[in-house]
Structure formats: C-alpha cells, structure tokens
Structure 1
Amino acid sequence: MNKYAVNLSTIFTEVPFIERFKKAKQAGFNFVECQFPYSVPVSTIREELEMNQLSLVLINIPAGDWENGERGLAIYPERIPEFKESVATGIEYAQGLGVKKLHCLAGIVPVDMNPALARKTYIENLTFAAEQLAAHGMTLLIEPINQFDMPGYFLNDIKEAVEIVEEINLPNVKLQFDFYHIQKTKGNLLANFTNYMDKIEHIQVADVPGRHEPNTGEIYYQRVLAEVCNNGYRGFIGLEYIPLGKSEDSFSWIELYQRGEK
C-alpha cells in the first residue's frame, strides 16, 4: 500500500508481536514501523521481515522503564551514560534490521527540575545521538507529544521542536510530525505542516478523539493527506493508531483516500 507503514506496536495487537509482520503483509502493506522491538532478538525480527518481504522504516531508541512510566532518558543529566547505552542499542537494532530512522523520546520533567537544565541536557544528548547515527547513515527524529496523553512530557510544542532542530543544526536531525498530537496541542494542522515541512522527515496519523483510525473523529484526513501530497511530501505515513474494532477492518480510510487521489 503506497508508502503507508503500519505500526506493529498499536495495530494487530490481537496477536503476539512476532505474528504481526505476517498480518501486515496479508493486509497489503510493504512497510512497517514499531516503537520498541528490543524484547525480541534482531535475528528473529529480521527473519519475519524477510519472510514477509517487509521493510521496517522506524523504531524508537530505548526510552527507559516504560512499564513504570518512564518516557525517555534524554533530559536527565544524571542518566547520560544510560542514554548513551540506549543510543548504542538503538543503532545495533537499526543496523540489523535495515532501519534508517530512529525517534528519541525526551522524558518526563520532574516537578523540581530546572527546565533550562532539561533543555540543555536534551540538546547535548540529541547532538551526541545524531552524530552517532550519522556514522551509519541514519536520521534522528524528535516528536512533540500532547500533554493530555503524556502529562509532564518535555516536548509538546511544535514550535519549540523546530527551534531545537534548528539549534542543533545537523542535517540528520528532523521532525516526526504526528497529526494526532498536533491536533490535540495546536490544531491548524495544514498550516503547521506547511510551515515546517522542510524539517519533517516522517509523519504519523490517528484521529481525535480516541487515537483511532482516520475517519473516526474530527480530523478531515481526506483533505489533510491530499494537501500533504500536494505539498510534495514523499516520505512514509505511519499508522500509529488504536483500531476502533478489528485491526484488519481499520484500513478502509486508505482506500477512500486513494480513490480521491485519482
């Protein structure tokens, strides 16, 4: 299906993770993305990718203890060694799986933390990560995430994300633009996308409210995706949503959009 990449962390959760690759192929996809593949050996995932003729286009760098509420390590000065280890792990998996884009989560800001220190540490860690990734031809992504779904998350403003990308000023540091998060924080989806398109490397879609598939909420995705295409975006469209019903029944919006393209 064109350059749509189904997110195997949120879709096809009816079956175990390793079985979702086959499900994606059966649904007609050639590309997949996932959040954290690290509980499964590289060789096992690579076998599934090859067997199903799929390309894995995006993963997250390890983000700490997710089960206990951690959402990234990059803002904490006392955890820099741990962050650097997470970058190495991300690169190891990306190399083994042919992934060229890695998203780095920032972290939850403690109530007693100096925001300026968090920002300084974040930029220094992102710079380190980007330089490490560049040696392997990989791109580092940052993504503003809405404060309702992830209270206290360091980066939720698209303008600040752009400023950070510009301050780092490395060619392989780009934005991951999730229309769901932008709608919940700023709105003005098309204006924000157009304004910052030169910084955007990857986009993701889900509707509001509920984070379900497009055409289940308030975002007029047929127009949004048409404008994305008309503006010259040729990257992947990540499907990072929670299906309202069965996963295999959540793709009808793609057919509607593609018919509208013709």
Structure 2
Amino acid sequence: MTSFSANLGFLWADRALPAAIRAARAHGFDAVECHWPYETPVLDVMAALEETGLEMLGLNTRRGDVSNGDNGLAALPQREEEARAAIDEAIDYADRTDTAAIHVMAGKASGSKAQTTFLRNLDYATTRTDRTILIEPLNRHDAPGYFLNTTMQARDIITELAVPNLKLMFDCYHVARNEGDVLFRLQDLLPIIGHIQVASVPGRRAPDHGELHYPTVFSKIADLGWKKPIGAEYKPSGDTEEGLDWMKRYNS
C-alpha cells in the first residue's frame, strides 16, 4: 500500500497550518510537509502534530525578498549571511517540530561563483544538523533562472560534498517537465533520494491524470522498495477535500 504526505503549501492552503495538519489527518494522510511555516507560532504546530500523531517530513528555507524576485538564497554570491540565517532558522524550526528534512532553496543564479556559494552553504547546513538536507531541481518553465534545474546537476553536487545527510528531493513533476524519463531516473538516483513528490504533468494538479501515468510510477516506486510517504505536492483544482479520490484509489 502506498502512503502519502500532504504538502500543506498547496493542500488546505486557505487554512492556518495547525488546522491544515488536522485536516490532513482527518482525510487519511500518513504525514505532512510544508513550504514556509515561519509565520505560524511553532508551539501551535507542535501541538497539532502531537494531537494528530503525524510526522512533519519537510520544510523549506525562506526564499528571500519575494517581491524583488528571490526564490531562494543559498546559491547567491554576496548573500551568504542571509542564506545562513535562513538555514539556521529552518534548522531551529525543524528541531522544535521534529521535522525530518530541510529543503535548502538555491535561488536564481548561474555560473561558477554560484556553484561555489551553493556548495559552501550546503556544507554549512549539513554540518549544523544531522537532519536530512534536501536539494531540489526546479523546472525551467515554473522557475526560470533557478540555479538547480537537473537531477544530474544535483547528483554532481551531492557526490562532491559526499556527506550522508545531503539528499535529492525527487519531484516527479519537475523531473518530467525538465528531463523526462522519470522511471529510469527514479531507479538510477534511488541511492541519493531523500524524498519523492508527485503532481500531474503538465498542470500540477492531482496525480490521477495528465501525461505521466502515476499507476506505473507508484508501482515502480514500490518495486524499488521505497517505504516512506510520498509527498502530494499539487495544486487542487477546487476544494482540497473534494479532490482526494485519487488517494483512496492508490493507497487502498
């Protein structure tokens, strides 16, 4: 049976994070994850997690100045102080909520200086915590200019740093849109994958339609021996609860 984690950056996004956690439990999710929880008092999140018994699988570092186009900080030269403050903040929130993994967002950058900066900041993050540090390639359609955009680039970074708590966030949606060959890449990259996420392609809706055939994807993930909940990081086409029939089919 496939188990799922509700990504509360998209699901029940109209509710406060603690209420969204409770909704995820009420509707059969096995875990939760979020984007940027920092405006929510951490004690409220801790209480909701304890009440529901759900684990928080992941959260993101802050993007920076979104109004100025920022989409992460860790690969931006001359902004290492901000990037490390965001990493420290994420680690602190993760420690208090016992969140399993932290996605360190690279940001919009390119070139050798960005590469060096990203590596330094990832080294900083992985030595500051034993929790899993995730890096995620984002597709060029949704995140133009993002520094990290292919799984091969991510693998090279993970190989170069060679630390056990640096892993790949394998988002089937982003991989399909940017690279294709999702089934091959899942198998090939399995040793460095720390979390898997899903959404339809190309619409980023529930994973029950679109170009990527998720019954085959979920079967492949199971055959590979993956036991952790898979992140449902999709944008509901309407009310979150009315669109959950897909999950009932896949985890029955």
- Amino acid in structure 1 at the alignment position of 2:22: K
Which residue pairs with 1:56 in the alignment?
A: 56
Query: Are the equivalent residues in 2 in contact too, given 1:61–1:104 (CA < 8 A)?
Result: yes
Cα deviation digits, residues 132-184 of structure 1 (max 9, x gap): 122xxx01000110010011000111111111100010010000000000010
Query: Are the equivalent residues in 2 in contact too, given 1:36–1:59 (CA < 8 A)?
Result: yes
For residues 15 and 98 of structure 1, the distance between their equivalents in structure 2, rounded to whole angstroms, comes to 22
Identity of aligned residues (%): 35
Which residue pairs with 1:74 in the alignment?
A: 74
Query: Which piece of structure 1 moves more, 96-105 or 228-237?
Result: 228-237
Q: Does 1:87 align with 2:76?
A: no
Instruction: Provide the secondary structure at the position in 2 that maps to 1:102.
Output: strand
Query: Are the equivalent residues in 1 in contact too, given 2:133–2:165 (CA < 8 A)?
Result: yes
For residues 35 and 93 of structure 2, the distance between their equivalents in structure 1, rounded to whole angstroms, comes to 12
Query: Are the equivalent residues in 1 in contact too, given 2:11–2:236 (CA < 8 A)?
Result: yes
Query: Are the equivalent residues in 2 in contact too, given 1:30–1:53 (CA < 8 A)?
Result: no
Which residue pairs with 1:5 in the alignment?
A: 5
Which residue pairs with 1:131 in the alignment?
A: 127
Q: Does 1:179 align with 2:179?
A: no
Unaligned segments of structure 1, at least 5 residues: none
- Amino acid in structure 1 at the alignment position of 2:12: F
Shift of 1:2: 5.5
Counterparts of 1:25-40 in structure 2 under 5 Å?
25-40=25-40
What count of residue pairs does the alignment treat as equivalent? 252
Which residue pairs with 1:150 in the alignment?
A: 143
Query: Are the equivalent residues in 2 in contact too, given 1:36–1:60 (CA < 8 A)?
Result: yes
Instruction: Provide the secondary structure at the position in 1 that maps to 2:79.
Output: helix
Cα deviation digits, residues 12-63 of structure 1 (max 9, x gap): 1243333211211111123100011000111111112122222111111222
Query: Which piece of structure 1 moves more, 170-179 or 5-14?
Result: 5-14
Query: Are the equivalent residues in 2 in contact too, given 1:73–1:107 (CA < 8 A)?
Result: yes
For residues 178 and 26 of structure 2, the distance between their equivalents in structure 1, rounded to whole angstroms, comes to 35
For residues 4 and 12 of structure 1, the distance between their equivalents in structure 2, rounded to whole angstroms, comes to 15
- Call closer, same or farther: CA 1:227–1:99 in 2, change over 3 Å: same
Query: Which of 199, 224, 229 lines up with 1:236 in the alignment?
Result: 229
- Amino acid in structure 1 at the alignment position of 2:225: G
For residues 148 and 248 of structure 2, the distance between their equivalents in structure 1, rounded to whole angstroms, comes to 34
Query: Are the equivalent residues in 2 in contact too, given 1:213–1:242 (CA < 8 A)?
Result: yes
Which residue pairs with 2:16 in the alignment?
A: 16
Which residue pairs with 1:214 in the alignment?
A: 207
Unaligned segments of structure 2, at least 5 residues: none
For residues 3 and 61 of structure 1, the distance between their equivalents in structure 2, rounded to whole angstroms, comes to 25
Moved beyond 3 Å, runs of 4+: none
Instruction: Provide the secondary structure at the position in 2 that maps to 1:77.
Output: coil
- Amino acid in structure 1 at the alignment position of 2:177: K
For residues 149 and 216 of structure 1, the distance between their equivalents in structure 2, rounded to whole angstroms, comes to 19
Larger RCO (alpha carbons 8 Å, 6+ apart)? 2
For residues 40 and 68 of structure 1, the distance between their equivalents in structure 2, rounded to whole angstroms, comes to 23
